[in-house]
């Protein structure tokens, strides 16, 4: 509320300026888009204002891309800082024209605020309150657009206004849970601690899922397990896998077993399959291959379309001394994936497990064939590549054995 109070006068002034611009725009009913890249200082840029059209939008996009390319080019081959500044200045002129053409264009207002901040920072001066007012206007006019909320939050982080930035990021996540990954990455880039991000964002499953690898990578998984535990029943299909990952990485398989047993069987087949898979993983980690095998079979029966369940059921069968059953499970899984586009990596993975199964059964020739098929499906499959190299180093590569 305090932030909004501070911004009210600036927003009012900026709104008045936009109202004056609207009056000017009303004088001309059409703006030709033949020269969209003319800058604000070009007299012809003011000749006609009206619907901005796709040409101006594309010209703005091109200028911003050229600015980034100039800044990122190695050795200054793209013009370096001077070219970056030049392209941003041109983009600012075109963004002003876009706003005059459509005073409701919140994305243009947001981008104008960001470009102005960059240019002012390069000049060693910043009108922080004016830029914040533009951000407030854009945020209010795009109150239902997650991308604008995120980009405004990123701008406010650059300005050092972290409290305001967090509010924009939280709004983006409330609008669209699918934006959570981008939000968390942006907040991390801005230097936010994982615990602060957890406090700032809505308590929804997508936030917990996005933060789980962050906490785990920092060795702080135990801090997040409790949050998962409390919310597990709200969306078990989404929350059980990362909850199990965190607890197992933390060396706590018994916590997975206790919590998911207490949760009980779930009516939704996919959610129950996730519960069975997590119980099986916990049993395997605790050294109970029999329970792992049974849970793996339950998960696969409930949701055979997911190759994760096939993978676990096969490996659990193998660890339980049932290699024939593991082979059959993997072959069934490969048959299900045979006609499914985009599953090459999974086909490679299952072929690799099939090779390992044949290795365990003493069927070396068939193992070699399976490993080669794994690499045909996924040339980057690491285990198949390593195992095949080991075998061929012992018996010689096929080419080396030719007379």
Q: Is residue 187 part of a domain?
A: no
Q: Is residue 197 part of a domain?
A: no
Instruction: Confirm if 64 and 91 have CB atoms less than 8 A apart.
Output: yes
Q: Is residue 156 part of a domain?
A: no
Q: In terms of domains, do 284 and 345 share one? A: no
Residue 394's φ and ψ, nearest 5 degrees, are: -85, -40
Q: Is residue 161 part of a domain?
A: no
Per-residue pLDDT tens over the stretch 143-186: 677 888 898 888 889 878 899 899 999 999 999 999 999 999 99
DSSP code of 240? H
Of 393 and 328, the one with more pLDDT: 328
Q: In terms of domains, do 313 and 366 share one? A: yes
Q: What is the CATH number of the domain that holds 255?
A: 1.25.40.10
Q: Is residue 164 part of a domain?
A: no
Gap between the terminal Cα atoms of the chain: 83
Q: In terms of domains, do 318 and 255 share one? A: no
Q: Is residue 403 part of a domain?
A: no
Angle (CA) 86 91 93, round 5°:
100
Residue 87's φ and ψ, nearest 5 degrees, are: -65, -40
Q: How far apart are CA 107 and CA 149, in angstroms?
A: 10
Of the candidates 132, 190, 144, the one whose C-alpha atom is nearest the C-alpha of residue 166 is 190
Q: Is residue 195 part of a domain?
A: no
Please, which pLDDT band fits residue 97 given cuts at 50, 70 and 90?
confident
Q: How far apart are CA 63 and CA 161, in angstroms?
A: 27
Q: In terms of domains, do 1 and 128 share one? A: yes
The total domain count for the chain is 3
Q: In terms of domains, do 9 and 96 share one? A: yes
Q: Is residue 178 part of a domain?
A: no
Please, which pLDDT band fits residue 34 given cuts at 50, 70 and 90?
very low
Domain carrying residue 372 = 304-397
Q: What percent of the chain stands above pLDDT 70?
A: 77
Please, which pLDDT band fits residue 17 given cuts at 50, 70 and 90?
very low
Give the end of a domain, one of 298, 313, 344. Answer: 298
Q: In terms of domains, do 4 and 110 share one? A: yes
The whole-number average pLDDT for the span 354-379 is: 96
Q: In terms of domains, do 5 and 123 share one? A: yes
Q: In terms of domains, do 109 and 16 share one? A: yes
Q: In terms of domains, do 12 and 106 share one? A: yes
Please, which pLDDT band fits residue 6 given cuts at 50, 70 and 90?
very low
Burial class of residue 318 in the structure, from the number of CB atoms within 10 Å of its CB (0-12 exposed, 13-18 middle, 19+ buried)? buried
Give the end of a domain, one of 298, 327, 342. Answer: 298
Of the candidates 269, 322, 276, 323, the one whose C-alpha atom is nearest the C-alpha of residue 295 is 276
Instruction: Confirm if 162 and 36 have CB atoms less than 8 A apart.
Output: no
Q: In terms of domains, do 274 and 313 share one? A: no
Q: In terms of domains, do 60 and 113 share one? A: yes
Q: In terms of domains, do 253 and 358 share one? A: no
Q: Is the pLDDT score of 49 beyond 80?
A: no
Give the end of a domain, one of 142, 171, 194. Answer: 142
């Amino acid at each position: 509320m305090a932030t909004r109070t501070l911004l009210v006068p600036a927003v009012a002034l900026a709104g008045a300026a936009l109202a004056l611009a609207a009056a000017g725009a009303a004088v001309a009913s059409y703006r030709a888009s033949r020269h969209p890249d003319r800058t604000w200082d070009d007299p012809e840029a003011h000749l006609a204002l009206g619907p901005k059209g796709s040409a101006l939008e594309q010209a703005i996009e091109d200028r911003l891309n050229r600015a980034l390319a100039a800044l990122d080019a190695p050795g200054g081959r793209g013009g370096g800082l001077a070219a970056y500044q030049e392209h941003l200045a041109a983009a600012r002129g075109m963004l002003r024209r876009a706003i005059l053409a459509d005073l409701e264009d919140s994305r243009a207002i947001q981008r104008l605020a960001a470009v102005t901040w960059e240019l002012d920072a390069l000049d060693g001066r910043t009108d922080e309150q004016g830029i914040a007012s533009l951000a407030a206007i854009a945020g209010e006019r795009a109150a239902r657009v997650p991308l604008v909320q995120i980009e405004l939050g990123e701008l406010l982080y650059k300005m050092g206004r972290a409290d305001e930035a967090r509010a924009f990021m939280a709004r983006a996540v409330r609008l669209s849970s699918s934006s959570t990954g981008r939000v968390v990455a942006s907040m991390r880039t801005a230097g936010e601690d994982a615990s602060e991000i957890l406090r700032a964002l809505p308590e929804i499953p997508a936030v917990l899922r996005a933060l789980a690898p962050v906490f785990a990578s920092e060795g702080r998984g135990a801090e997040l397990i409790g949050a998962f535990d409390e919310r597990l029943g709200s969306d078990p299909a989404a929350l059980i896998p990362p909850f199990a990952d965190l607890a197992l990485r933390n060396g706590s398989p018994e916590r997975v077993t206790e919590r998911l047993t207490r949760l009980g069987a779930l009516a939704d087949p996919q959610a129950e399959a996730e519960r069975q898979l997590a119980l099986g993983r916990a049993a395997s980690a605790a050294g109970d291959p029999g329970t792992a095998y049974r849970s793996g079979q339950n998960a696969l029966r409930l949701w055979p379309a997911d190759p994760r369940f096939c993978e676990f059921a096969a490996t659990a069968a193998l660890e339980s001394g049932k290699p024939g059953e593991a082979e059959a499970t993997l072959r069934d899984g490969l048959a299900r994936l045979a006609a499914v586009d985009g599953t090459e990596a999974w086909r490679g993975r299952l072929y690799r497990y099939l090779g390992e199964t044949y290795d365990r059964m003493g069927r070396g020739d068939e193992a070699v064939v399976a490993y080669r098929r794994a690499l045909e499906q996924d040339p980057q499959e690491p285990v198949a590549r390593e195992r095949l190299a080991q075998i061929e180093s012992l018996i010689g590569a096929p080419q080396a054995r030719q007379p």
